Amino acid sequence: MSRINTHRLREMLKLYFIMGSPNCYKEPAEVLKEAIAGGITLFQFREKGNHALTGVEKVTLAKELQTICKKHDIPFIVNDDIDLAISLDADGVHIGQEDEPVAKVRSRIGDKILGVSVHTMEEAMSALEAGADYFGVGPIFPTKTKEDAKPVQGVQHIQHFREKGITIPIVGIGGITVENAMNVKEAGADGVSVITAISKASDIIKAAQSLRQQIEY
């Protein structure tokens, strides 16, 4: 295997759906199937927050969702849990600044996709050097989904990274909806990552379709 091709990764990041059981009003497997039917391009399993599953239950859900992704050719990324990603042979991992150091994670996962949340130029440069494949930047807009989220950064933050010469694939995250997704792309992001705009939508298929249209425009 070799590191993911950047062009392919930019395509994958267009509509990046992130979800775990605490983000769903119904069965996560059903939510994921509908999101895929609506056109998501990448999935991240993020089992975090109130009533998040742990242990065997978490692993069982991860396997169930990974199986769905495989069936539909949607790459499966694991949030934070490097051991889980390795044991499931996931397509990649996404880590934040408070997780294991980027270089250590890169050496553990080999050529799997490695996403890193960055908030400053310093974090960005160091993640780049340590082997990140893409950056998650946010929260772009106010969000209630992540309790310990950093202050809202606005789309200017993505613009700033691009102006400073950061060419690595970037996804915006935090409070992104069909109404504001276009602004995130126009600021220089390759795609948007969303949790509740899809997971808690009354019509999940339509929500994903509408977001995808905004990004493809």
List the catalytic residue out of 3, 104, 108, 146.
Answer: 146
Judge whether 206 is annotated as a binding position. no
- Is residue 139 a contact residue for ligand TZP (CB under 6 A)? yes
* Per-residue CA distances from 154 to 164, 172, 174 (Å): 17, 10, 10
**Between residues 80 and 190, which has the closer beta carbon with respect to Mg ion?**
80
Distance CA 216, CA 84 (A): 32
47 is in an annotated binding site: yes
| Cβ nearer to Mg ion, comparing 99 with 123 | 99
For residue 28, whether the previous peptide bond is cis, meaning omega lies within 30 degrees of 0, is no
Q: Which of 49, 96, 131, 154 binds Mg ion (CB under 5 A)?
A: 96
Residue 175 CA to residue 2 CA, distance in Å, equals 34
Closest distance to ligand TZP from the beta carbon of 5 (Å):
26
How is residue 207 written in tokens? 């929500």
Question: Smaller CB distance to ligand TZP: residue 49 or 131?
Answer: 49
Query: Using CB under 6 A, which of 66, 153, 183, 196 touches ligand TZP?
Result: 196
Token digits of residue 181? 């997704």
Nearer to Mg ion, 38 or 138 (CB): 138
Task: Determine the Cα–Cα distance for residues 47 and 63; give it in Å rounded to an integer.
Answer: 13
35 in contact with ligand TZP (CB under 6 A): no
Check whether 26 is labelled as a binding-site residue.
no
Name the CA radius of gyration of the chain, rounded.
16
The first and second tokens of residue 28, run together, are 């996560």
- What are the start-end ranges of the H helices in 98-203? 102-109, 121-129, 156-163, 181-186, 196-199
- Please choose, out of 50-58, 159-167, 182-190, 191-199, the segment that lies near ligand TZP by the rule CB under 6 A: 191-199
99 binds Mg ion (CB under 5 A): yes
Give the CA dihedral 194, 199, 203, 204, nearest 10 degrees. Answer: 70
**Choosing among ligand TZP, Mg ion, none, which partner's interface includes residue 124 (Cβ < 5 to 8 Å by kind)?**
none
Q: What are phi and psi of 161, to 5 degrees?
A: -60, -45
Catalytic residues: 46, 117, 146
Interface residues toward ligand TZP, by CB under 6 A? 138-139, 143, 145-146, 149, 173-176, 194-197
Question: Which residues fall in the annotated binding site for Mg(2+)?
Answer: 80, 99
Interface residues toward Mg ion, by CB under 5 A? 80, 96, 99
Question: Which residues fall in the annotated binding site?
Answer: 44-48, 79-80, 99, 117, 143-146, 175, 195-196
